[in-house]
Amino acid sequence: MARLSERISGIVGAGGDDGWSVYYRARALAEAGAPVVMLTVGDHDIKTDPAILAAMRASQERGNLGYPPVPGSAALRRAIAGRVSARTTLAAATAQVLVVPGGQAGLFASLTAVLDPGQSCIVLDPYYATYVQTVRAAGGRAIVVPTSAEDGFQPDAARIEAALAPDTRAILINTPNNPTGAVYAPERLAAIADLCVRRDLWLISDEVYDVQVHEGRHASPRDLLGMADRTLVVNSLSKSHAMTGSRIGWVLGPEAAIARIGELATTTTYGVPGYIQDAAEFAMTEGAEIEAAIAARYRRRRDAVLESLGNARAVRANAPAGGMYVMLDIRPTGLSGLDFAHRLLEAEYIAVMPGESFGTAAAGHLRVALTRPEAVLRDALARLVAFAGTLAA
């Protein structure tokens, strides 16, 4: 085989077990018939609402099956701009929106837009599993800056500034955060915004959990002084409307930047199928109750998990303020998150993600996805706590 490019060969990078071995082992056990409780990846246990699917079918039956407008349909872009304008201080215009096939595509497009080959981007640890790889895929270099459990996994602007390199062009943040559930405090976001303005940096804000806020409120850094022209917001309907498989999201940013990112879309995705866009428009304009019900479901499940922990000695919760996960601190057991997760799977057939899957700052933690019914979650957490107790005894 002829040699592949360094860029594509280096996306994943070298290293040992990053924790995904637990997930693949759990999948294999489940396929072999074992009663595995999967609390690993953040895919819903509920289906896309029938009303959204009906809108999708109706669009197909109308013949909306050809090439779509690459930037997105005018109707969907207006709906997205309207959603943003209603929920933030700063209004959004249709021309500031690009429709993309899911948040992941939006992340790649945004990083490609702001990084020249070899330039660096700050990524906060713990981070969503693809972040570092996506920076590499865009030709960049990730500078990983840790946050700490003791500080609620909140970002520290001074620590970020100390990590900047001469070639740093962007900071990537995610609030509400996956995996930690942290909702970044307004003063922390303001400090990051000040840093971006002073050092002429782009801010890429992943806001896919913006409606899943259990405590406090979500704030978009795009609203802050001086940030409208240097912020790219990535969002999708995957989490808010249980449309993970539909692959529908958007990038919001300065009009000139969105135009250039649209040119990238022409050479990569060539748009999102029109019938999916029509379903997304319906979800945004008619699906407020659907969105609210999904958010409430995860809030109830979050509360059930925290209640199930009780006063456990060996397991402590970092109570999430948002999102659809709970981070558990199992350091009192003396095990790494990776070792604990493997042993839990073997002993109890409960599959969770080790904190080490998301960087090093969450070592000794577990991420529990709230993607099973409340009764299942309560039972699984009770068994997890009992198992941890045997290790810490």
Enter the tokens of residue 145. 């800056």
pLDDT in tens, 231-245: 999 999 999 999 999
| Separation of alpha carbons 188 and 190, rounded Å | 5
Mean pLDDT of 76-93: 97
pLDDT surpassing 90 at residue 188: yes
Enter the tokens of residue 170. 């962007």
**What's the confidence (pLDDT) of residue 12?**
85
| Separation of alpha carbons 322 and 214, rounded Å | 5
Tally DSSP H helices, then E strands, for the chain.
13, 12
DSSP assignment of 175-207: SS-TTT-PPPPHHHHHHHHHHHHHHT-EEEEE-
Enter the tokens of residue 194. 């000040």
Asked if residues 238 and 208 have their Cβ atoms less than 8 Å apart, the reply is yes
pLDDT in tens, 261-294: 999 999 999 999 999 999 999 999 999 999 999 9
Confidence class of residue 56 from pLDDT cuts 50, 70 and 90? very high
Mean pLDDT of 145-160: 97
For the segment(s) 64-286, the CATH number from 3.30.420.10, 3.30.1310.10, 3.30.70.20, 3.40.640.10 is 3.40.640.10
Q: How many residues does the chain have?
A: 393
Give the strands of the sheet with 316-318, arranged side by side.
Answer: 37-39, 350-354, 365-369, 325-329, 316-318
Question: Cβ of 330: how many Cβ atoms within 10 Å?
Answer: 29
pTM tops 0.85, yes or no = yes
Give the strand pairing for 97-100 and 249-252.
antiparallel
Phi/psi of residue 163, each to 5°?
-90, -10
Confidence class of residue 125 from pLDDT cuts 50, 70 and 90? very high
Enter the tokens of residue 90. 């700063």
pLDDT surpassing 80 at residue 17: no
* N-terminal to C-terminal alpha carbon distance within the chain: 55
Half-sphere exposure of 126 (CA within 13 A, CB side): 29
| Separation of alpha carbons 308 and 383, rounded Å | 10
pLDDT in tens, 59-82: 999 999 999 999 999 999 999 999
Of 371, 393, 368, 364, the C-alpha closest to 382 is 368
6-47+290-392 has CATH 3.20.20.150 classification:
no
Asked if residues 323 and 44 have their Cβ atoms less than 8 Å apart, the reply is no
Asked if residues 171 and 137 have their Cβ atoms less than 8 Å apart, the reply is no
Structural domain spans, the chain: 6-47+290-392, 64-286
**What's the confidence (pLDDT) of residue 310?**
86
Question: Cβ of 13: how many Cβ atoms within 10 Å?
Answer: 11
pLDDT in tens, 381-392: 999 999 999 987
| Separation of alpha carbons 69 and 270, rounded Å | 8
